[in-house]
Amino acid sequence: MPSRYDLDPEALARALEPALDGEPPYRFRQLWDGLYRRLADPSELQELPRALRVRLADADPLRPALSLAAELEADAGATVKWLFALRDGAEVETVLMRYPNRATVCVSSQAGCAMGCTFCATGQGGFSRQLTTGEIVEQVVWAARVARDSGARLSNVVFMGMGEPLANYGPVVRALRRLHGALGLSARHLTVSTVGVVPGIHRLAAEGLPVKLALSLHAANDSLRSSLVPLNARWPLESLAAACAAYAGATGRRVSLEWALMDGVNDTPTALEELVAFARPLAAHVNLIPLNPTPGWPVLGSPPARVAGFAARLGAAGIATTVRQTRGVAIAAACGQLAMRSATPARAGRGGARGRGGHLSGQTGDIWNLASGSTGPSPRPSRTPSSSST
Ligand code: SF4
């Protein structure tokens, strides 16, 4: 059964025909505008007749997909992480990061992940299921409401949470189009991160949707990368480089390379040379961040001095480089860690965090990589999104 942000306008109008029977056509337009422009719950749309609001409240296609299971704040309230329960009990994480002039949300695209990256909490937890378009879009709407209620404007969406977005291609692309069209976010402010699903990169390049592509690289020799990112054995670096070049050529967007610095693993002079050799032909931008350690892998992030030295040598080699700040350490910053912590024995008894996708997500550290900017204080978010005031 679809949720309120799953269907396109035509399909939602058809699904709501019984509830809208006898109403003028503009009522549906008011409802659609309320959902996407005002970020409102249908019950909050005072311009709709009360009897219609009552009918809509009972309409299955308008049921929400997400319910809040946990909320944690860090960075003096500038970072907030939510654990959402989906209707079937699967769980996903969403993170809102606020900066003085903007806000970024990191969304999950799958419950769990099948890619098995060794350093990632979600990879350690396994795959539960794909998310629907509506489950993805609703994460953004939730974050946009919280941002708005605290005086910030949600400007950026990064698909760096739980899951590999290009392994859930159709729902993710439909979500991107909905975020761009119905929610009005610039495609240039939408970022899809991948560990290297090469066919998906080529397909995305042909969509005519110039979103940013972030490649979670982490190693630029096939042996090391395959040990960190098992998918590399299927689509090794040569094919990845070709796909990134094709993406940049088709979209005019420079690809960014995400590199979670791991102590003694990929912060060596040799690793640096390999990264330079990979990045230079692509004119790629490199985002560095120390790894957020996960319970299932005994490697630490590189110490600050080595991070600084690595960045300086990249810069000296002519590679555009940014060292990203780590956000939300106090709330299990790297995606996947909150759900891992939240998996109580009782939950595990229902299938466990692994089965329900509770070992949340994402490329460890990656969500922070595009969340650049200063960390000035910002208002604390409300506990749950409040109603639209307009
Ligand atoms: S890093 Fe990304 S692709 Fe790899 S296991 Fe984690 S969520 Fe999946």
CA 303–ligand 1 middle distance (angstroms):
23
Longest CA span, the chain: 71
**Angle ∠(370,4,186) on CA atoms, nearest 5:** 35
Choosing from 168, 194, 195, 240 the residue with most ligand 1 atoms within 8 A of its CB, the one to mutate for a pocket test is 195
Q: Which atom of ligand 1 is nearest to the CA of 194?
A: 3
Is the predicted pLDDT of residue 345 greater than 50, yes or no? no
191, 370 in Cβ contact below 8 A?
yes
Mean of pLDDT values over 302-313 = 97
Instruction: Collect all residues with Cβ–Cβ distance below 8 Å to 337 and sequence separation of at least 6.
Output: 121, 292, 294, 295, 360
Ligand 1 pocket check for 113: Cβ under 6 Å:
yes
Q: Which of 119, 164, 360 to mutate to test ligand 1, by most ligand atoms within 8 A of the CB atom?
A: 164
Closest CA to ligand 1's atom 3 = 164
Between residues 338 and 146, which one has the greater pLDDT? Answer: 146
The CA 115 to ligand 1 mean position distance, Å, reads 6
pTM, 2 dp: 0.87
- Name the CATH architecture for the domain at 67-369: Alpha-Beta Barrel (3.20)
Percent of the chain with pLDDT over 70: 83
- Is residue 335 annotated as a catalytic residue, yes or no? yes
Angle at 244 between CA 290 and CA 365, to 5 degrees: 20
DSSP β-bridge partners for residue 7: none
Comparison of pLDDT for 80 and 346, the residue scoring more: 80
Query: Pick from 65, 53, 58: which is nearest to 6 by CA?
Result: 65
What SS3 class is residue 244?
Answer: helix
Which residue CA neighbors atom 2 of ligand 1 most closely? Answer: 363
Q: Which of 161, 151, 174, 173 is nearest to 11 (CA)?
A: 174
Q: How far is CA 327 from each of CA 60, 76, 157, 330, 367, rounded to the nearest angstrom?
A: 38, 11, 16, 8, 9
Residues contacting 176, CB < 8 A, separation 6+:
187, 190, 192, 209, 211
Our answer on whether the CB atom of 367 is closer than 6 Å to any ligand 1 atom is: no
Q: Which residues contact 354 (CB under 8 A, 6 or more apart)?
A: 112, 125, 126, 128
pLDDT of residue 190: 98
| Residue 359 confidence (pLDDT) above 50 | no
Determine the average pLDDT of the residues in 96-117: 95
Tell me which of 113-117, 119-123, 142-146, 195-199 is least confident.
119-123
Name the more confident of 114 and 1: 114
DSSP 69-81: EEEEEEGGGTEEE
Q: What is the full DSSP assignment across 327-341? A: --GGG--STTHHHHH
For residue 292, the model assigns a pLDDT of 83
The Å distance, Cα 216 to ligand 1 centre, comes to 9
Split at pLDDT 50, 70, 90, the class of 364 is very low
Is 117 an active-site residue? Answer: no
Task: Report pLDDT for 52.
Answer: 97
Distances 234 to 7, 144, 198, 206 between C-alpha atoms, Å: 34, 37, 9, 22
Residue 154 has pLDDT above 70, yes or no: yes
State residue 163's pLDDT score.
97
In angstroms, how far is CA 324 from the centroid of its own chain? Answer: 17
Average pLDDT (224-231) is 98
Residue 187 φ then ψ, to 5°: -60, -30
Closest ligand 1 atom to the C-alpha of 121? 6
Domain boundaries, the chain: 10-62, 67-369
pLDDT per residue as tens digits for the range 32-66: 999 999 999 999 999 999 999 999 999 999 999 99
Residue type, 390: T
Ligand 1: does its nearest atom lie under 6 Å from the Cβ of 201?
A: no
Q: Sorting pLDDT into bands at 50, 70 and 90, what band is 341?
A: low
Please list, in sequence order, all residues whose beta carbon lies within 8 angstroms of the beta carbon of residue 276, skipping any fewer than 6 positions away. 314, 317, 319
Two structure tokens written together for 206:
């042909």
Rounded to an integer, the average pLDDT of 232-255 is: 97
Give me the sign of the Cα torsion angle 363, 214, 241, 127.
Answer: positive
The CA 231 to ligand 1 mean position distance, Å, reads 10
Q: Which two tokens stand for residue 65?
A: 């997909």
What average pLDDT does this structure show over 94-114?
A: 95
* Comparison of pLDDT for 186 and 330, the residue scoring more: 186
Q: Residue 350: what pLDDT?
A: 28
HSE of 47 in the Cβ direction (CA atoms, 13 Å)? 14
Residue 363 pLDDT greater than 70, yes or no? no
Token pair listed for 16? 């709501």
Query: What is the C-alpha to C-alpha distance for residues 23 and 18, in angstroms, rounded to an integer?
Result: 10
- How many whole angstroms separate alpha carbon 267 and alpha carbon 309? 9
At 260 the pLDDT is 96
- The rounded mean pLDDT for the chain is 86
Whether residue 294 has its Cβ less than 6 Å from ligand 1: no
CB 330 within 8 A of CB 69: no
Tens of pLDDT, residue by residue over 11-32, are 999 999 999 999 999 999 999 9
Please say whether the beta carbons of 384 and 149 come within 8 A: no
